[in-house]
Amino acid sequence: MQPISRRRALQLGGLGLLSAVAGGAGLTWQSAAGFDTAPGLALTEPELLRSSGGGLQVTLRAAQGPTRVAGRDSTTLSYNGGLPGPTLYLQPGDRLQVRLVNDLDAPTNLHVHGLYVSPAGNGDNAFVVVQPGESFDYDHQLPDDHPPGVYWYHPHHHGMVADQVFGGLYGAIVVGDPEPVAVTRERVLVISDLTLDGSGRVSAPSAMARMAGREGELLLINGQSRPVLTARPGERERWRIVNACSARYLRLRLDGQQLQLLGLDSGRYPEPRDVEGVVLAPGNRSDLLVTANEGSGVLQALPYDRGGTGGMMAGSTSSDGAGITLATLDVTGAAVAALPPVATQPSARDLRGLTVGGRRDLTFAMGMGGGGVQFTIDGKVFDPERVDQAVQLGTVEEWTLTNASSMDHPMHLHVWPMQVVAEGGKPLDEVMLRDVVNIPAGSQVTVRVAFDRYPGRTVYHCHILDHEDNGMMGVLTAT
């Protein structure tokens, strides 16, 4: 199996073709340090915490301690002792109150990735610092028109994001549909990667891995190695998939089964799309329907080439082997009656027909400086005291995102979703909403953003988390 090209993968992702994660040199199912996995167990899902009466109150305790990873006792970071943390199930208009307790030995905070909520005060405030032994009460009010879909949460304390997410701090958020989609069952699948030593502890990455963006030796679903899912012929399942990897692109494929894509990130297609696979950059999510056909289907992570660091250091992030088995779907038993077709979903607002109030050009680059490799946006490394972009509420802006480096960079804007309007200079003929937009090496992507509400200060950055920690992030204010 040859690696998919960056440009072709972007096209596939834009079209909704399922081909997500694989990546990274040297991915194995047993690390050199001798951590043995226990594959083939039945899939388990994170604890589900569902809102009621218009709200959800939850405590998330971030700590280092014992967890089960790939069927073995390990020591990782976790929320509430689980890998992943609990799934938070909300409805549009809900109030989400989270008490974050920091039992780590380092500062942390919490980002609700993709949720359309305020960045100010106790909201989705990336500048909050929760010191060891302290707690912080987050308060998020979802608007009544919040898009349904799958989102996630993870730390966002600058300089420590990659260590804490790679170490095990992540969990899913689901915002339910106003009208439920008829399925036999729903599954939450959080995909992550991790490297453990022989004692089951998280291994520190090398300096080269930090520069390229670390990719773990174990590729996991809900903390499991190659779990088994079961279904009967004709059953239609809904798989909400989160790419919680720090740097790995997921190119997912499930042969032998009928796949339909409801949407990516907060973007929802009016009609489900028949697909063969889906490409998820770090931070992306997919909402997938799987209609079971008799037999056994293997969910694979196929090779993906996200580029390399060029002449700045040895090595690259290309994956050029066979696909990696993530899970097996066993379909046996008596067939069930087909479910009714999925109802047409409302079309998203198309920003291409609106007046553009401002245009910006952002350039993502890598280069030598300051004693090492620097990751910059517009030639600058992150400074929390500097405002890089000041936008006016009530306007629509068009941003041209240029990648001047030899690696793909997935750009994430907090709070406001982006509509991709052109890729590589070619206009799109559909409405494509994302909160993580991949910018292929040496290419451009153009997006429009409607800054409709929520004054405050937030950030935009590369979602290869080592790159973010090394400076590829900027500050935006909305007034």
Count CB atoms within 10 A of the CB of residue 404: 17
pLDDT tens digits, 406-456: 999 999 999 999 999 999 999 999 999 999 999 999 999 999 999 999 999
Name the residue with tokens 């994001």: 161
The pLDDT value recorded for residue 132 is 98
The mean pLDDT value for 186-208 works out to: 94
Backbone angles phi, psi at 322, to 5 degrees: -75, 170
- DSSP single-letter state for residue 255: T
CA-to-CA distance for 111 and 158, rounded, in angstroms?
12
> If we measure between CA atoms, which residue out of 467, 31, 442, 125 comes closest to residue 282?
467
In this prediction, what percent of the chain has a pLDDT beyond 70?
90
The amino acid occupying position 399 is W
Cα–Cα distances (Å) from 257 to 44, 260, 463, in that order, read: 21, 10, 31
Contact in structure between 454 and 120 (CB atoms under 8 Å):
yes
The mean pLDDT value for 105-134 works out to: 98
Question: Residue 9's pLDDT band (boundaries 50, 70, 90)?
Answer: very low
Cα-based angle 51, 56, 57 (whole degrees, multiple of 5): 150
- What ranges in 321-464 are assigned the alpha helix state H? none
Token pair in block for residue 367: 């280069």
Q: Is the peptide bond before 39 cis (omega within 30 degrees of 0)?
A: no
Cα-based angle 260, 263, 267 (whole degrees, multiple of 5): 165
The pLDDT value recorded for residue 13 is 43
Count CB atoms within 10 A of the CB of residue 135: 14
Q: Which CATH number does the domain 351-478 belong to among 3.90.79.10, 3.40.50.1240, 2.60.40.420, 3.30.70.100?
A: 2.60.40.420
The pLDDT value recorded for residue 361 is 98
pLDDT tens digits, 241-291: 999 999 999 999 999 999 999 999 999 999 999 999 999 999 999 999 999
CA-to-CA distance for 391 and 280, rounded, in angstroms?
29
CA-to-CA distance for 433 and 49, rounded, in angstroms?
27
The amino acid occupying position 383 is D
Backbone angles phi, psi at 210, to 5 degrees: -65, -40
In this prediction, what percent of the chain has a pLDDT beyond 90?
83
pLDDT tens digits, 356-366: 999 999 999 99
The pLDDT value recorded for residue 315 is 37
State the first-to-last Cα distance of the chain, in angstroms, to the nearest integer. Answer: 50
The strand ranges marked E within 104-235 are 111-113, 135-141, 149-154, 171-175, 185-194, 218-221, 228-231
Across 27-31, 124-128, 279-283, 334-338, least confident range: 27-31
Token pair in block for residue 398: 């068009």
The pLDDT value recorded for residue 308 is 79
CA-to-CA distance for 216 and 38, rounded, in angstroms?
17
